Amino acid sequence: MKHCLTIAGSDSCGGAGIQADLKAFSAHGTYGMSVITAVTAQNTKGVFDVQDINPSVIAHQIEAIFDDIEVHAVKIGMVSRPETIEIIASTLKKYSLPPLVIDPVMISKSGYDLLQPEAKKALIEILLPMATLITPNLPEAEVILGYAITTIEDMKKAARDLHKLGCKYVLVKGGHLVDDATDVLYDGAEFYLYESERFETINTHGTGCTISSAIAANLAKGLHVKDAVKEAKVYISNAIKHGFSIGHGVGPVHHFYELYKKAGVCDDRK
């Protein structure tokens, strides 16, 4: 069994962050491990408070994993402060890194800033160049690049510009497009488009965390980036299609729909 590590924030309602990452790892038949960067107080209605973890504790979590267990892929999510970004980068550089997927989490669906403004520079200059793949959605790509992205051609331009920051691959996710949900992958030379049906649902909590973790799990299992993204796109589309309500706001995607279906306990609540 392959071992996947997520470095991200905790979501108390379980739909995004560390919890979503571990569910996605498990759904892909890999063993999930975690380094918690922050604890959030949130539910389906929003994020209400954040407590960042001390940088030394973050470093010690990373060291505890790498000093004992082989890691086949790493996913990085919420890293809200410059100090957090700096300690993650410096600690990871001590080791021979497996594929690294970075999901540049910046703003929650309820509009809460999950990346402090002063951390943007550190994210761009320190962390993104280390990535095998980065997976920004359109608002995140707009924040990083400073211009609007509304069409597929805009996404291709954004992918080129993001690639210049030093990562090997860029996946610009099109979930915020008006007409479709096409994602654009760029490897520095060619573009690959991944299309999917758009589902009419509000239950999309954890979408970005989940697809980036699914990609990381696929990379851990030896898939090429193009195939890892293709398989993850199918997985997240199915998870979104069968997302369900657990509270009074934006419910989670269904990480285990296929497994629940096979077990005869599938619940299609909307």
The mean pLDDT of 13-39, rounded to a whole number, is 97
Q: Which of 15, 207, 230, 251 is catalytic?
A: 207
Q: Residues 64, 5, 84, 204: what is their CA dihedral angle, to the nearest 10 degrees?
A: -150
Residue-level pLDDT at 196: 85
Q: Which of 206, 210, 230, 251 is catalytic?
A: 206
Ramachandran assignment for 14, one of left (phi > 0), alpha (psi -120 to 50 degrees), beta (any other): left
Is 210 catalytic? The answer is no
Cβ burial, residue 266 (10 Å; 0-12/13-18/19+): middle
Residue-level pLDDT at 108: 60
At residue 40, the 3 state secondary structure works out as strand
What domains can be seen in the chain, in order of their start residue? 3-254 (3.40.1190.20)
Is 173 catalytic? The answer is yes
Is 157 catalytic? The answer is no
**Residue 180 in this model has a pLDDT that exceeds 80:** no
Q: Which of 204, 210, 233, 243 is catalytic?
A: 204
Q: Which of 2, 167, 209, 233 is catalytic?
A: 209
Is 208 catalytic? The answer is yes
pLDDT (tens digit per residue) in 73-112: 999 999 989 999 999 999 999 999 999 999 998 766 556 5
**Residue 178 in this model has a pLDDT that exceeds 80:** no
The mean pLDDT of 15-32, rounded to a whole number, is 97
Residue-level pLDDT at 197: 82
Is 266 catalytic? The answer is no
Contact between 212 and 235 (Cβ < 8 Å): no
Residue-level pLDDT at 238: 94
Contact between 206 and 189 (Cβ < 8 Å): no
Is 209 catalytic? The answer is yes
pLDDT (tens digit per residue) in 205-216: 999 999 999 999
Contacting residues for 202 by C-beta, under 8 A, at least 6 apart? 249, 250, 251
Cβ burial, residue 235 (10 Å; 0-12/13-18/19+): buried
Q: Which of 173, 174, 230, 233 is catalytic?
A: 173
Residue-level pLDDT at 119: 85
* 46-52 and 31-43 strand pairing: antiparallel
d(CA 158, CA 184) in angstroms, rounded, equals: 10
β-sheet bridge partners, residue 3: 31
Mean pLDDT of the chain: 92
Task: Take residue 243 and report the two structure tokens written for it.
Answer: 């997302």
